[in-house]
Amino acid sequence: MDLIIATRNQGKIGEIREALDMLGVVLHTFEEFSEWPQVDEVGQTLEENAVIKAEALRNHFDVHTIADDSGLEVNFLEGRPGVLSSRYAGPEEDPERNIDLLLKELTSVPENWRSARFVCVIALALAENGLRVTKGECLGTILPERRGTGGFGYDPVFQPAGFSSSMAELSLAEKNSISHRGKALREMKKVLEGLI
């Protein structure tokens, strides 16, 4: 089975490859294609955007496609940055500026008010028009400063519940074993196993 991964985010690609490492599925990424459609994430929710991305690429290439839409929801910020996580500090999607803005907004906010969660929606658009959606979340707190160099996005300032390290201090396999994306991908793996 051929499966396109509808993302340009290398961090996501690495995690998806690790989680879907299984016999019978050949994963394809944007680097293999000479043209790759630009998709506007105009949805109001993670689920809408995951479906928009998966269907757009499936419609273009006519191949089974999965997409990931994910984000960080901070309770003190009433769920922000949420669906706008990658563009929080501006349209240039700069992860360092996004973290700077988040830490600034949480200046002086004590640890027990810094709870947050990562949320991930994985959409599978089948070549013959079916659609499947899986979800995962990971609870934690926002650290006062960056720690670690692994992962991507907000990982250096996210401490998963029950851990004393940041998400960026975990290995790829450790992150997948507890993360929002790892959980959604394990569910999607079961769906794919039922299809091949």
Residues with catalytic roles: 69
What part of residues 31-60 is at the interface with ligand ITT (CB under 6 A)? 41
Residue pair 190/132 in contact by the 8 Å Cβ criterion: no
Q: Examine residue 68 and tell whether it contacts ligand ITT (CB under 6 A).
A: yes
CB of 28 to ligand ITT, least distance (A): 15
Exposure string of 96-122, with b = 16+ CB inside 10 Å and e = fewer, is: eebbeebbeebeeeeeeebebbbbbbb
For 65, what's the count of Cα atoms within 13 Å in the CB-facing half-sphere? Answer: 23
Helices (H), ranges, the chain: 10-19, 46-61, 95-105, 172-178, 180-193
CB of 194 to ligand ITT, least distance (A): 25
Q: Which of 20, 54, 64, 71 binds ligand ITT (CB under 6 A)?
A: 71
What part of residues 159-188 is at the interface with ligand ITT (CB under 6 A)? 179, 181
Residue placing its CB nearer to ligand ITT in the complex, 55 or 69: 69
For ligand ITT, the binding residues (CB under 6 A) are 7-9, 12, 41, 68-72, 85-86, 95, 98, 118, 151-155, 179, 181
